[in-house]
Structure 1
Amino acid sequence: MNTHYSEDMGCGNSSLRKDRRSEKAIRAAMIIQNWYRGYSTRLKARQRYALTIFQSIEYADEQGQMQLSNFFSFMLENYTKAHEEEPELITRLFGSNLQYKDREDYVKMIDVPDSYNGPRLQFPLTFTDIDLLLEGFKQQKILHAHYVLAVLFEAKKVLMQMPNISHIKTSPSKEITVCGDLHGKLDDLFLIFYKNGLPSGENPYVFNGDFVDRGKNSIEILMILLVTLLVYPNDLHLNRGNHEDFLMNLRYGFTKEIMHKYKLYGKQILKILEEVYTWLPIGTIVDNEILIIHGGLSESTDLNLLHRIERNKMKSVLMPPIPSDGDSTTDFRMSKIGGGGLRTNVSLSDQLLQHEWEQVIDILWSDPRSKRGCYPNKSRGGGCYFGPDVTSKILNKYHLKLLIRSHECKPDGYEVCHDGKVITVFSASNYYEEGSNRGAYLKLGYSMVPRFVQYQVTKSTCPRPLYQRVSTIESSAIRILKERMIARKTDLVHAFELHDRSKSGRLSLSQWAFSMESILELNLPWRSLSSRLVNTDKDGNIDYMSSFQDVQIQKPVKEVHSTLIETLYRYRSDLHIIFNVIDTDHSGMISMEEFRAMWKLFKKHYGVPVDDSQVDELANKMDLNKDGSIDFNEFLKAFHVVHKFDTSHKPDKLVLED
C-alpha cells in the first residue's frame, strides 16, 4: 500500500513538473514571439521610412522636371532671339512631328554585318521572332540598330491605326493580365512571362506605361513589347505613361542608354522613338466597366474629349501649348514668364489646345489620396491629387466600376484604395534598392474580382535575412538624403542659425525638423529620422552642424567659390537636360558662347545667386584643349558625389570631387 502510494505520488510529482516545464516553455515561446513581433515591426517601420525617403526625393525630382517646362518657354523667348539661326532647337521642343523617310529608305542604309550574333528578325514578324528576341536578351545580346529602327517604323504604323482609348473584353475562357511600371527592369518582365505565359490570342496583356527609364534595359523591354504588339496587335495593349516622353528620358536615363548602346545610330533611333511615343494610346477600357490609365483622374476629366483628341500632337507632356500673339482664348500658364507670346515658326494647328493638354497631364501624372476633393499635386509638380469623391463622380458619370492605374511604387506591388474603386499596380520589383519592394500584376477574369500575383526578383539563390535587407535599403535612402542636404547646405545652415538666436550651435528637435522641412520640402518624418542624421545631447537638443559632420565637399577647382560648387551640384540634372536639348546633334559638345548664354538665362530664371564671372572662370578651366568648346558631360562630372564606406559601419562619408 505504502509503496503503491509513494509510486502514485511520484507519478503525480512528475506530471506536475512536466506541466510546469510546459508552462515555462509556453511563456518563453510567447516572450520570444512578442519580442520577434516587436523586432519585425521595428524593421518594417524602418523600411517604410526608407521607402518614404526614396519616394519623396523621386517626386521632388519629378517636380523639378515639370518646372523645367517654365524654363524652356523662357529660354525659347530669350535664347532664340540671339540664336535665330537655330530653328532646330525650337522644333525640338515645340515643333510638329517631323516626317522621316519610309522605313525601307531609312533602314536599308544600315547593313547587318555577318559578324553580328544577336537576334535576326524576319518581317513580317511571327511568334518565332518573339522567342528569338527573348533568348537573345537573356544572353545579354544587343539588338542591331537595323532591326530597332525597322521595329519602330512598323510599330508606328500599327499604333497610328489604334484609338486613343482601346476597348477590350474578357470572356469565360480568357483573362486579361494588367502590368504596371517596368522602368527598364528586364528581369521582372522575364519573370512575369515565366509565371504567366507569353502574350497571345488566348493570353492578352495590358502594359500600363513607364516601360523605360531608370533601369538598364529599357530598349530591350520596349523592343519586346513592340515586337509582340506587331505579332498580336489585338491582344497586347500599350498605354502611354509619363516616362514615354523624350524630355523625361533626358533626365532619367533612357536617352543615355540609347546613345551608349547605339553610338552610330542613336540619334536616328531617338528621333523615330519620339514619334512612336506620340501614337501610344492613352487608356484602355475593359468590359465597359474598368478604366486603365497610367496616372489618375481630376474632377474635370472628360473621357469623351480624351477619346477624340489628336494624341500625336502631344510631343512632350512637359511642354504646354504655345499661345498665339494676342490670343485671349488660350489660357497659357507659361506666357507670363517670357514677356508675351513665343514667336516661332510652329503652327498652332500642330498642337493640342490648352484644355486638351491639361486633360492628358492629369491622366498621366495624377495620384489618388484619401482626402476628398481635387487639389494640385505639389509633390510631383504635375497633375493632381484626387479623393474618393472624385473617383466616384467620374466612374459614375461614365458608368464604370473600377479604375486601375500605376505610376506609384508600392511595397507589396499593388494597393487598393477609395473603397475598392482604385487599384494601383506596380510591376518593377526592387525599384529603389534590392529588397525595397515586391512587384505585382493583376488578372481580370470574366465577371470576377481582380486577382493579384506578387513576385520579387532576387540575384542570390539564398535571400538575405530581413534585417540585412532593411539595413541596405535604409543606408541607401540615407545616402541620397545626404546628397540632397549637400545641395542645400548653405540654405540649411542659414535656416538653423535663424532659430539659434543665442548662437549656441544647438536647436530643439522641433526647430531642427522645421528647418529641414522648410528648406528641403520633402514631407519626411524628420523627428524619426533624426537619430540617423544628427547628434543629440543629453537634454535632447540637436547639434545642428552635425547634420554635415560626415559630409566633405572637395572643390574640383581651388579658386571656385563653394557656393558655386553647391549650386551646380544642386542643378546638375536640370543643366544636363538643357545641355542635351541645345546639343541637337548629340555631339556631346557645346561652344563656350552657348554655355555662357544658357547659364545666364538659367541663373536669371531660377534666381541663382552666383556671379557670371565665376562660371566663366570655371568653364574656361573645363575647356582643357582651349578649342572654344566644352564637353558638358565631363563638366558636370566634376560635381558628383562619391560615397566612401567605413568598415566600422560608421555613417557614410560623402565627398564631392573631380
Structure 2
Amino acid sequence: MEYIVTDMGCNASIDDREENKSEKAIKAAVLIQKWFRSTRARLEISRRYSLTIFQSIEYADEQDQAQLASFFTFMLERYANPDAVADTSISPSVSHEADSYLTEYEKIEVPDSYCGPRLSFPLTLADANALLHAFKDGQLLHAHYVLQLLCETRRVLKEKPNINLVTVSYSKEITVCGDLHGNLDDLFLIFYKNGLPSEKKPYVFNGDFVDRGQNSMEILIILFAFLLIYPNDVHLNRGNHEDYVINLRYGFSNEVLNKYKVYGKVILYLLQDVFSWLPLATIINKKVLIVHGGISDTTDLDFLNLLDRNKVLDILWSDPRKQNGCVPNKRRGGGCCFGPDTTARLLERYNLKMLIRSHEFKREGYELTHGGKVITIFSASNYYEEGSNRGAYIRLNPDLIPHFVQYQVSECTNKQNHWERTKTIERSALQTLREKIFAHRSTLTEAFAKYDCNNTGKISVSDWAAAMESVLCLELPWRTLQFHLAKIDPDGKVDYMSCFHNMEIAQSTEEVQPALVETLCKYRKDLEIIFNIMDEDQSGLISFDEFRKTWRIFSSHLGIDAYDASVDKLAQSIDYNKDDYIDFSEFLEAFHVVHKRDKKPTNEKAELLAGCHGSSPSCHESQAAWEPNFHTENQ
C-alpha cells in the first residue's frame, strides 16, 4: 500500500513537472513567435521606407531632368553638326536627315578576326539564336551589323501605325513585358520560362528597354531582331527612356559610346531616329489598351493614332493615383496623375476592358489599381538593389484574363537570408539619401537655422522633418528616418548638423571654393551630359579650358557664380599625372559624396583615376542561350 501511495505521489510529482515544462515551452514558443513577428514587422518597415527612398530620389531626378530638358535640347542643337556625317554628331532636331546615315554600314568592313555573329538579311531564327548565344558569352555585335539592323528596324517601324491592333486567337496567348532597363538576364529568364517570340508566342514589350542596366544595347538588338523576323507578332511600345536626352543622363548613351567607340555616335544618331518611330500603344482584341505610362483626361485614341509620334508626353510619363481627378505629375515633372474616374471614362468611351501600363517600380513586379482596371507590369528585377524586387510579365489568353508570372534573377539573393537582404537594401538606400542630403548642405543648414532662434544647434524632430522636406521635396517619412540620419539628445532635440558629420566629398577639396564644391555634387550628372554633348571625338579627356567652358555654360543657365580661378584650382587638384587633361567621367565619380569610413585610400584612388578598371565577369555556359546564370522564380 505504501508502495502504491509512494508511486502515486511520484507520478503526481512527475506530472506536475511535465505540466510546468509544458507551460514554459508554450510561453517560450509564444515569446519566440512574438519576437519573430516583431522582427519581421520591423524588417518590413525598413524594406518599405528603403524602397520609398529609392523611388522618391528617382522621381526627383526625373523632375530635374524634365526641367532642364529645354536647356539640353538647346545644347544639342547648338553643338551638333547634322550636315557633317563624317563628324558623326547628333541632333534631336534633324530626324528627317537620317536617310543620309542609312548606308553608313556599307562603309564599315568586318575583319576576319571578328568572332561574333555574322548576320544576313532578311534575318532568320538562326540569326536570333546566334545573337542570344553571343550575348550570353559577353560578345558584342559588330558595328556594321548593328547599323544594318537599325536601318532595317527603322524601315519596318515606319510602316506601323501609332497604335498597333493585335488579335489573340484561341490557339495562342500573348505575353506582355514591362520595363527591362538594360537587365539582359531578365530578358533571358523570360525567354527561358515563357519561350522565344514566334508566330505562336506573340509578345508586347512595353517600353523602357534601355538605361540604368549595363546591357541596354544587347536588349535592343535582340528585340529588334525578333521584330524583323516576326513583324506581326512582336510589338514594341515606346517608353519615356527611349529618348536621347534621357539617355544622356541615365547611362545608355555612355554604354553605346564605350562599347562602339568611333561608331558610337552614328549608332546613337540612328537609334534616336528609330526611337521616334516606335509605336505609342497596342490594343489587344479591341479590349485591352497597353501604353507605357498611362492616360490623362484629354487622352483621345483616335487623335493619338494620327499624331506625330515624337510629340507625346502623357502616355509616356503618367501614373495612376487613388483619388479621382487628373492632376499634373509634379513628382516626375511630366505627364499627369490620373484617378479611377479618368480610367473609367476612357474605358467606357472606347469599350475597353482594362489598361496595362508599366513605368513604375513595383516590389512584386506587378500591381492592380483602380478596381483591377489598371495593371502595372514591371519586368526589371533587382531594380534598385540586389533583392529589392521581383520582375514579372503577364500572359493573356483569348478571354483576356491576366496570368502573372514572377521571377528574380540573382547571384547573391539565394545566399542571403531575409534579414541580410533587407539590411543590404536599407544600407544602400540610406547611403543614397545621405549623398542627396550632403549635396544640399548649405540650403539645409539655412532651413534648420530658421527653426533655431537661439542658435543652439538643436531643433525639434518635427521642425527637423519640416526643414528636410522643404528643401529636398522627397515626400519621405522623415520622422521615422531621423534615427538613421541625425543624432537626438536626451531632451528629444535633433542635433541638425549631425546630418553631415559622417559624409564628405570623395575628392579632397579644402582649397576650393565651397559653393563650387557643393554645386558640383548637386549637378555632377548634368555637367556630364553637357560635356558628352561637347566632346565630339568622345575621347573622354578635356583640357582645363574645355572644362571652364562647360562650367560657364551651365552656371550661366542656373545663375550660379564661380570664379575661373577656383574652377582651375579644382581641375589642377585632380590632374594626378599633370598632363593638363582630365578624365571627365572619373572626375565626376571622384566628386560624389561618400561615407568617411568608405573612402578609398589615396593611392588606390589615384590608380582608379589613372584608368585601372576591372572587367565585368563573363557569362557562363548553360543549357539554353537565354537561360540566366542564376535565378529564382515563382509561377
TM range (shorter): 0.7 to 0.9
The equivalences for 1:481-500 within 5 A come to: 481-500=433-452
After TM superposition, the structure 1 stretch with the greater mean CA deviation from structure 2, 607-616 or 423-432, is: 607-616
The correspondence for 1:172, drawn from 170, 173, 178, is 170
Unpaired segments ≥5 residues, structure 2: 600-604, 610-635
What TM-score, normalized to structure 1? 0.84
1:162 — aligned with what? 160
| Cα deviation code 1:426-456 (max 9, x no counterpart) | 0000000001111111111111421111111
Cα distance, 1:87 vs structure 2:
8.4
CA distance in 1, matches of 2:203, 2:316: 20
| Cα deviation code 1:202-258 (max 9, x no counterpart) | 111111001111001111111111111111111111110001111111111111111
- The one-letter amino acid paired with 2:404 is F
CA distance in 1, matches of 2:418, 2:71: 44
After TM superposition, the structure 1 stretch with the greater mean CA deviation from structure 2, 23-32 or 188-197, is: 23-32
CA distance in 1, matches of 2:19, 2:390: 44
| Cα deviation code 1:281-300 (max 9, x no counterpart) | 11101111111100011111
1:341 — aligned with what? none
| Cα deviation code 1:314-339 (max 9, x no counterpart) | 2xxxxxxxxxxxxxxxxxxxxxxxxx
- The one-letter amino acid paired with 1:248 is I
CA distance in 2, matches of 1:607, 1:511: 30
| Cα deviation code 1:62-114 (max 9, x no counterpart) | 111111123246668xx95xx899988998143343233475x4223222222
Residues 53 and 461 from structure 1, CA distance in 2 versus in 1: closer, same or farther, beyond 3 angstroms?
closer
| Cα deviation code 1:264-320 (max 9, x no counterpart) | 211111111111101111110111111110001111111111111132xx2xxxxxx
2:93 — aligned with what? 94
The correspondence for 2:335, drawn from 348, 371, 383, is 383
Cα distance, 1:488 vs structure 2:
0.6
Residues 644 and 635 from structure 1, CA distance in 2 versus in 1: closer, same or farther, beyond 3 angstroms?
closer
Residues 280 and 64 from structure 1, CA distance in 2 versus in 1: closer, same or farther, beyond 3 angstroms?
same
1:122 — aligned with what? 120
1:331 — aligned with what? none
| Cα deviation code 1:408-428 (max 9, x no counterpart) | 111111111111111111000
Residues 223 and 615 from structure 1, CA distance in 2 versus in 1: closer, same or farther, beyond 3 angstroms?
same
Query: 2:413–2:421: 8 Å Cα contact kept in structure 1?
Result: no
What TM-score, normalized to structure 2? 0.87
1:41 — aligned with what? 41
The correspondence for 2:296, drawn from 294, 298, 304, is 298
1:243 — aligned with what? 241
Cα distance, 1:615 vs structure 2:
3.4
- The one-letter amino acid paired with 2:69 is S
CA distance in 2, matches of 1:274, 1:267: 10
CA distance in 1, matches of 2:70, 2:274: 25
Cα distance, 1:32 vs structure 2:
2.0
CA distance in 2, matches of 1:285, 1:507: 55
Q: Does 1:463 align with 2:412?
A: no
Cα distance, 1:150 vs structure 2:
1.4
Cα distance, 1:19 vs structure 2:
6.4
| Cα deviation code 1:92-151 (max 9, x no counterpart) | 143343233475x42232222222222222222111111111111111111111211111
Corresponding pairs, count: 600
Query: 2:506–2:592: 8 Å Cα contact kept in structure 1?
Result: no
Residues 94 and 415 from structure 1, CA distance in 2 versus in 1: closer, same or farther, beyond 3 angstroms?
same
CA distance in 1, matches of 2:123, 2:558: 50
Q: Does 1:424 align with 2:376?
A: yes
Residues 601 and 114 from structure 1, CA distance in 2 versus in 1: closer, same or farther, beyond 3 angstroms?
closer
| Cα deviation code 1:477-508 (max 9, x no counterpart) | 11111111121111111111121111111110
Give SS of 2:415's match: coil
- The one-letter amino acid paired with 2:236 is L
The equivalences for 1:218-297 within 5 A come to: 218-297=216-295
The equivalences for 1:565-576 within 5 A come to: 565-576=517-528
| Cα deviation code 1:372-413 (max 9, x no counterpart) | 211111111111111111111112111112111111111111
What root-mean-square deviation, in Å, do the aligned CA atoms of Structure 1 and Structure 2 show?
A: 3.2
1:334 — aligned with what? none
CA distance in 1, matches of 2:90, 2:229: 34
2:505 — aligned with what? 553
CA distance in 2, matches of 1:160, 1:389: 35
Give SS of 2:555's match: helix
Unpaired segments ≥5 residues, structure 1: 315-356, 648-653
| Cα deviation code 1:546-602 (max 9, x no counterpart) | 101101236655542111011012111112112222334534466766655553443
The equivalences for 1:323-334 within 5 A come to: none
CA distance in 2, matches of 1:85, 1:416: 47
